[in-house]
Amino acid sequence: MKNYPRILTIQDISCVGQCSLTVALPILSACGAETCILPSAVLSTHTGGFSGFTVRDLTDDIPAIAAHWQKEGILFDGIYTGYLGSIPEIGYVQDIFRTLRREGAKTFVDPAMADNGRLYGAFDMAYADAMKPLCFGADVVLPNLTEACLLTDTPYRETYDEAYITELVGKLQAAGAGTIVLTGISYSPDRTGVVVAGDGRTQYYSHHRIDRTCHGTGDVFASVYIGAALQGVPAFEAAKLAADFTVSSIEATVAYPEHWYGVRFETQLPALIQALQTL
């Protein structure tokens, strides 16, 4: 690992549930980055399967935190946003993109608002529309298929062919997207993978599909991708590394049905550090 980037990640703290900041912090640290955080909200758990969770939205705290950093001259080499709390917060994040970047800094947006054809419980179509300028203004956008459909007003399909994905990528590019890292793309029942589009080409990496859906895999994938990218790993290689890490984390979880709420990614961190050391 040759770089020591300072990254800011803006997403919620789900106190229990292995997603968002509790995933991004350890993974980005393992990737050798100084990891700074800006919590968008504090929830007792994530919203995917628990009931009665508490939510404290931190939208109103963000401008003063950002202003303090600006006053102190604190700037970042990378800014990575995930699950945010409100539409005004999306605007504040756009301000942060403008004001807190070191020269050459990269911005990464995981829309983190939907999966499996549905918006997460806290969000509506107005939120999905408000995410568009943030996603299309970032250097790298990392949507899953559902989010890519929402961002391009495309009907979501459970089964599709390469032409459908090519059209979707074309619509994201026409809307102004930078590098596109599109996850959960599957052309056959036993395989799934990631499409990477940027620098004038589109590439696809597939791996076997594990018959288990896990919460937080999008956050695990994005954190590894971004950690690797900030170490100078090219987009397609970073996507492969992130996909392989996500697969091995899910594999480390399948034997534990009581662990339905997240992925046991921690045991895979030594292998990730080793892989990054050899790149």
Q: Is 143 in the site for ligand PXL (CB under 6 A)?
A: no
Shortest Cβ 142–ligand PXL spacing (Å): 12
Residue 67-86 contact track with ligand PXL, rule CB under 6 A, x = bound: ----------------x---
Binding span for ligand PXL by CB under 6 A among 40-48, 59-67, 205-213, 231-239 = 40-48
Minimal distance, residue 117 CB to ligand PXL, in Å:
14
Identify which of 9, 2, 79 has the alpha carbon closest to the alpha carbon of residue 40.
9
| Token couple for 31 | 């990737």
22 contacts ligand PXL (rule: CB under 6 A): no
**Of 75, 120, 205, 275, the one binding ligand PXL by CB under 6 A:** 120
Given candidates 47, 192, 249, 253, which one binds ligand PXL under the rule CB under 6 A?
Answer: 47
How big is the site for ligand PXL, counted in residues (CB under 6 A)?
Answer: 14
Q: Which is nearer to ligand PXL, 26 or 234 (CB)?
A: 26
Per the DSSP assignment, residues forming a β-bridge with 194 are: 183, 205
Q: Is the Cβ–Cβ distance between 136 and 177 less than 8 Å?
A: yes
Q: How far is CA 56 from the centre of its chain?
A: 21
Q: What is the dihedral of CA 46, 90, 60, 42, to 10 degrees?
A: 10
Q: CA-CA distances (angstroms) from residue 97 to 25, 78, 91, 255?
A: 20, 9, 10, 41
218 binds ligand PXL (CB under 6 A): yes
Name residue, tokens 């803006």. Answer: 10
Nearer of residues 12 and 89 to ligand PXL, judged by Cβ:
12
Q: Which of 10, 21, 81 is nearest to 220 (CA)?
A: 21
Which of 39, 111, 216, 227 is the binder for ligand PXL (CB under 6 A)? 216
Q: Which is nearer to ligand PXL, 5 or 143 (CB)?
A: 143
User: Is the alpha carbon torsion for 197, 230, 275, 242 positive or negative?
Assistant: negative
- 262 is a site residue for ligand PXL (CB under 6 A): no
Is 112 a residue that touches ligand PXL (CB under 6 A)? yes
Distance CA 11, CA 39 (A): 5
> What is the Cα–Cα distance from 203 to 279, expressed in whole angstroms?
20
Enumerate binding residues for ligand PXL (CB under 6 A): 12, 14, 19-20, 43, 46-48, 83, 112, 120, 216, 218-219
